[in-house]
Structure 1
Amino acid sequence: MTNPPGLLISAPSSGTGKTTVMLGLLRALAEDGLTVQPFKSGPDYIDPAFHRAAAGRASFNLDSWAMGAPLLGAIAAQAKGADIVVAEGSMGLFDGVAKPGEQGHGSSAETALRMGWPVVLVLDVGGQAQSAAATALGFRMYNPDLPFAGVILNRCASPRHERLTRLGMERAGLPVLGVLPRRGDLTLPERHLGLIQAVEHPDLESAIAGYAAFLRAHVDLEAIKRAASSGPMGPSSAALPRPPAQRIALARDAAFSFTYPHLLEGWRAAGAEIVPFSPLADEAPARDADLVWLPGGYPELHAATLAAADRFLTGLRNHAETRPVHGECGGYMALGEGLIDKDGTRHRMAGLLGLVTSYEKRKFNLGYRRAELLADMPGFSAGTALRGHEFHYSSIVEQPDVPLARVFDAEGAEGPQTGSRRGHVTGTFFHLIAEASA
């Protein structure tokens, strides 16, 4: 048995328009009556929410560095019942870490190879014509084993520009699946961690409908459908992550939204109950919850509102007296003593950890993380190795509590951001993806 046929949308680098192509393609195929399953290659919270809005079906991350084969297969099996799979790559097609993890380097090319999905390469051809074919041919030949569907030429300036660029592709023997004229109104709003969140887009439905119409007018959808293929079906959902508690109060709003979909799917599949609440709306976590989980997000943009959220903070503190609370990245920051915003104003947070963080003193922290737990945290015992990802600009000003873990980057270098623990409260700057052996 095989998965539905699929494709992976990638590019030579970030900023070439692949997300616009992805969203337009998802919606156009859905408008044609197909059930479309989206995926995202690599660690990303924001894109899957846009995928879901475009396809009407939950999107999941696939990560060949952080996930073992059973978990990759279980996530791929979420495509059951779909007619076609469309996955979006991250960064450039072959970009990954220098040293492989248990599985690989984490590139989009690895994802395509594992899943048997041919690559559609989105090329920004601005400022070049026949030379674009040399770039595309290099990507095609870099790994001859990688299935390759063809190219979509983006930001084409004129019919003459298109004709010259097509000539180069024909000479290189590369199928052209579409040519997108240059348009300045097809970009999604961004902020410091990339795109704004889907829930914050002022008119997301209209934007996606516009992308679909644009793709339909300039891309050969039938050729794209014919190019799709896939590999063997993965194992059952039994390989998905197990829940850290039975009844989980999960913070979910514009300040706390970064939770990997495969984690939530695994928790629900194992029978856990997830009870969402909004700290920004000053909602307290459910009183009968076994665990409060604060995911990452943008607390630095809402620090004053969170500091004034008395019901939320009181409920959180009451829960922490007897039961576990865990925070990731932005959630970790909210559990600390204080958060300094971009203007240098310090806001009082929950005070359940001694952590003080600053968005005024910004430092870019990005990359995979391997954590060896020094103590228990919800769902995992001391000594467990976890794999995750870190992506934030905030700096630690104070961290007086006992470390939660030894944390290493993808090349094995140990870092200072160890997470914290105090009583029933734990927190990390890295976002959990999977147990290292999963």
Structure 2
Amino acid sequence: MPAGLVISAPASGVGKTTLTLALARAWRNHGLNVQCFKSGPDYIDPAFHAAATGRASVNVDSWAMDHATIGHLVSRGADADVVLAEGSMGLFDGVAARGVSGTGATADIAELLGWPVVLVIDPSGQAQTAAAIAAGLRDYSPGVRLAGVVLNRVASSRHEDLVRRALHDAGIAVFGALPRHAEISLPKRHLGLVQAEEQAEIGKLIEEAARFVAEHVEIDAVLQSAASWSPQPAANGLNVTPPGQRIALARDAAFSFVYPHMLEAWRAAGAEITTFSPLADEAPDASADVCWLPGGYPELHAGRIAANARFHSGLRAFAETRPVHGECGGYMVLGAGLTDADGVRHDMTGLLGLETSFAKRRMHLGYRLAALAEPMPGHRAGARLRGHEFHYSTILAQPDTPLAVVHDATGAVIAETGSRRGNTTGTFFHLIAEDR
């Protein structure tokens, strides 16, 4: 029977991902089968989980997914020895309005699955106050159980002793304390961590993190704090309709942000996926019946994408007779032009009239609920889609037929409606699920 545990923290940026990867690899090195999940809409971390465990990781999201979908996804951990769910942001951080089964907070997943929480606490600039924060998180909701804490970035043995004493007095277990260690710092860029597939040394970095954490953390005690968990077979699978029978999927360093559970659901429904690289000047498979351009970092490769004539002509020819859809970065590439951070405009494929600028940076972040006014691949007009938007690009022009009426998690209508022109559609949000 697997044991389940949630890794969370009071806030972002304190070391959740590093601890999750280190524990997963350390336990794997001891012969255990480890399954990871990511709570929330972050589409980058699952690839790191897979690198650490050798098993595919997926997102579970209480705002976008119902209980049946979450149950179906976590049931893949039934044959594991230990299952780790890495949280997003702080433990109770979600949106103000409840979604399908919660607010998107990590605490929702911990309560739903009955898994205790290990908190990563960074006590930089404080001492006993760290214990007050941990105690507040422990007592905030009776449905969430705290197993203990791991201290990260402690400044000295004296600093560690002060924090440990305060946590002991508060009745909170301390599994270990990590001094600062630059060698296990994961590189970042504007949308989060640099992707796992872009880091040639990721295996060595995870191995060093596992060694370092095993040296400073009682990993056996952490494992013993996990809750025995008997996954229940889900009555229903994922409520996802493939966009086509044979899908040409753009896949390279500029087009990589797609939720793993979506690809799995397409394949489970009988769809075939072929990949092509716009950066390598490849066109979509001519035998496919739909083309899908996911998000990624086209703004970092805009000049190269603009110069790749075979990609442009092949995609335009494809769109004359078959549907093409783009999400976020893919949507931007389907537009007429993209202005990079230096203010240089690059011609994109021109299948839509969208003009975007990365020079005028403004963060767009949050859950999205879209009611389709027009059909898009895999979804009829009138369908209600749940997704998440995260980018820094500004819309300069969005002249085509709006694809949807899009609301944020508070119910406010937003300007990023997506677009449709002929067989081409695009959205700024990344699709997570369709309302049942």
TM above 0.5, one fold? yes
Q: How does 1:61-76 map to 2 (within 5 A)?
A: 61-76=59-74
- The answer to whether the Cα contact below 8 Å between 1:117 and 1:231 also exists between their aligned partners in 2 is no
Residue 396 of structure 2 is aligned to residue 397 of structure 1: yes
Q: Does structure 2 conserve the Cα–Cα contact (< 8 Å) formed by 1:65 and 1:100? A: yes
| Alignment-mate amino acid for residue 250 of structure 1 | L
Counterpart pick for 1:140 among 122, 134, 138: 138
The letter for the 2-side match of 1:295 is P
Given that residues 116 and 231 in structure 1 are in contact (C-alpha distance below 8 angstroms), is that contact kept between their aligned partners in structure 2? no
C-alpha separation in 1, matches of 2:238 and 2:117:
27
Match of 1:18 among 7, 16, 19: 16
Match of 1:224 among 216, 219, 222: 222
CA contact (8 A) 1:248 1:274 kept: yes
Letter in 1 for 2:293: L
Q: In the alignment, is residue 177 of structure 1 matched against residue 182 of structure 2? A: no
Give CA deviations for 1:240-294 in whole Å, capped at 9, x if unaligned. Answer: 5231211001111100000101111111111111101111111111000011000
The match for 1:107 is 105
Q: Which of 175-184 and 232-241 deviates more? A: 232-241
Tell me how far 1:61 sits from its aligned partner: 0.3
Number of residue equivalences? 435
Corresponding residue for residue 314 of structure 1: 313
CA shift for structure 1 position 80: 2.7
The one-letter code matched in structure 1 to 2:344 is T
Matching residue's letter, 2:42? D
Amino acid at match of 1:99: A
Query: 2:213 & 2:63 partners in 1: Cα distance?
Result: 32
Structure 1 residue 287 and structure 2 residue 286: aligned?
yes
Q: TM-score, normalised by structure 2?
A: 0.98
Confirm or deny: 8 A CA contact 2:119 2:149 kept in the other structure.
yes
CA deviation after TM superposition for structure 1 residue 232, in Å: 4.2
| Aligned partners of 1:42 and 1:106 also within 8 Å | yes
**Counterpart position of 1:95:** 93
Q: Deviations over 1:116-137 (max 9, x none)?
A: 1110000001222222111110
Q: Deviations over 1:137-190 (max 9, x none)?
A: 001000122121110011112222222211111111111111111223332111
Q: Percent identity?
A: 60
Query: What residue is the counterpart of 2:378 in the other structure?
Result: 379
1:303 and 2:320 equivalent? Answer: no
One-letter amino acid matched to 2:226: A
Q: Deviations over 1:48-92 (max 9, x none)?
A: 111111111111100000111121111111213111101110000
Q: Aligned runs of 1:316-331 on 2, under 5 Å? A: 316-331=315-330
Quote the offset at 1:238 in angstroms: 2.8
CA RMSD between the two structures: 1.2
What's the counterpart of residue 166 of structure 1?
Answer: 164
User: In the alignment, does 2:65 pair up with 1:46?
Assistant: no
1:231 CA displacement = 5.9
**Which residue among 22, 35, 38 is the counterpart of 1:37?**
35
CA distance in structure 2 between the aligned counterparts of 1:38 and 1:299, rounded to whole angstroms: 29
Q: Could you tell me how far apart the structure 2 residues matched to 1:22 and 1:428 are? A: 32
Say whether the 8 Å CA contact 1:72–1:234 is kept in structure 2: no
The residue correspondences of 1:203-352 to structure 2 (distance < 5 A) are 203-229=201-227, 230=229, 232-235=231-234, 238-239=237-238, 241-352=240-351
Give the 3-state SS of the residue equivalent to 2:241 in structure 1: coil
Write the distance in 2 (CA, Å) between the matches of 1:187 and 1:109. Answer: 26
Paired AA for residue 186 in structure 1:
I
Instruction: Show the counterpart of 1:428.
Output: 427
Consecutive unaligned residues of structure 2, counting only runs of 5 or more, are none
Specify the alignment match of 1:60 in structure 2.
58
Give the AA of the match of 1:148. Answer: L
Residues 8, 87 of structure 1: 8 Å contact kept: yes
Long gaps (5+) in structure 1: none
Distance 1:231 1:15 in 2: 32
Q: Distance in 1 between matches of 2:99 and 2:62?
A: 8
Comparing 383-392 and 154-163, the one that deviates more: 154-163
Q: 1:201-255 CA deviation, whole Å, 9 max, x = no partner? A: 2411111111000111011111111111236424067335231211001111100
Amino acid of the residue matched to residue 391 of structure 1?
F
Q: Match of 1:145, as an amino acid?
A: G
Alignment partner of 2:169: what SS?
helix
